[in-house]
Structure 1
């Protein structure tokens, strides 16, 4: 997979897409942040999800000539927020050492989360995954897609929704519609289900401007990000096969 573009190039691409306007930031803020950040190759520039939610970013995705979309049964996508992860308190931040987690394909989120923690890594947020694909479209390939289990939805009773967000390429089946075949798709899979075509995207750490001293990833435990006890899960729409 190609290395992420330089931070200055990432900033320009986000500006061209209008992400700075969505975030309520002047273009010069993105440019200066990128220019002043002494970042290693492969560092991702991200806008804090409080500034731009996933629902606003998803339509900016492109695969060929197809725009991205959120599946119809995930109208609550913006309620999937960081779970067990401390983000920098800033509108812009960096994520280092991004990995798609192909080696975890056919693992369940329940299995992948503690393994990432043992490696000193934290799962990507949904918004971070979208930022990654915006600036590195090759990160999303058919049958080589990824989950972003750092974002979870907490229900009113305090338990976590058993859905976990993911990014993949639509086959244009079911409610997606044939016209969306080949489009980048924000969807979900069950906490305890496995999928051969989904890895688990993660980062070494997050920080502001100096990626050599990232903010502490935070203790991310299965209890913090896991599903409800006793939730067996099942196959969501388009999740048995890459649809």
Structure 2
């Protein structure tokens, strides 16, 4: 079992109302086809003092549209070139609220699981009563709290998996980290936020497993 005491500190998120304004300012509501006032009204239902992430359902705002909105050192986020099917990675082994907007509670970057494989991490999260983040939730988190993505302290979002035509799960698992500007990323993308993937059975010392304590929609 992982030791929760070794988990990295996660600072409180902006208020849900501030998060709503951030999404509106980025045009996420237009991507999702949701009026700005509806986003503000939903954020207000969280109540005061709640440390929750305001998320748009991936059916309304896919990862390919959200990733370029990420920004680090003045450089926009991107999806790796060998993941053209990024939007086909759907929630797996968890149910998202059946609503265009919802809240994600109890975020944890999962630093204590660094150097675990996704195959090892998923049952441990389940035993803790937690569920892994889906890719779009991870992107929303970094949009609202850019500092959560640190060099050598990044995270996987294994709640999103791609099911192949034969019914089997693709061995790739999505992750968010910081580009080194090598290979096909290009030197101009060094230090940019990056949506990529890792193999289901592989371990990486610099990737934890982002998870949540719960989700709720209205």
Q: TM-score, normalised to structure 1's length?
A: 0.85
Alignment of 1:1-243 (within 5 A): 1-38=10-47, 40-208=49-217
CA distance in 2, matches of 1:206, 1:31: 18
Give the conservation status (yes or no) of the 8 Å contact 1:2–1:138. Answer: no
- How many matched pairs? 209
Name the CA distance, whole Å, in 1 between partners of 2:129 and 2:19: 26
Tell me the SS of whatever aligns to 1:52.
coil
Give the Cα–Cα distance (whole angstroms) in 1 for the partners of residues 51 and 204 of structure 2: 26
Deviations 1:84-132 (A, max 9, x none): 1111111000000000000000000000000000000000000000000
Q: Give the 3 Å change call, closer, same or farther, for CA 140–173 of structure 1 in structure 2.
A: same
Q: 2 CA distance for matches of 1:54 and 1:78?
A: 6
**Separation in structure 2 between the aligned mates of residue 46 and residue 139 of structure 1, nearest angstrom:** 16
Q: Which runs of 4+ in 1 moved over 6 A?
A: none
Q: Show structure 1 runs of 5+ residues with no match.
A: 210-243
Q: What secondary structure is seen at the aligned counterpart in 2 of 1:59?
A: helix
- Structure 2: distance between partners of 1:39 and 1:94: 14
Q: Partners of 2:178 and 2:152 in 1: how far apart?
A: 8
Residue aligned with 1:141, SS = coil
Distance 2:48 2:142 in 1: 19
Per the TM alignment, residue 37 of structure 1 is displaced from its structure 2 partner at its CA by: 1.8
Q: Secondary structure at the match of 2:188?
A: helix
TM-score (norm 2): 0.94
Cα distance in 2 for partners of 1:84, 1:110 equals 13
Uncovered stretches (5+) of structure 2, i.e. residues with no partner: 1-9
The Cα shift of 1:38 comes to: 2.0
Deviation, structure 1 residue 2: 2.5
How far residue 176 of structure 1 moved from its aligned partner, in angstroms, is 0.1
Measured on the aligned residues, the alpha-carbon RMSD in Å equals 0.9
Tell me the SS of whatever aligns to 2:94: coil
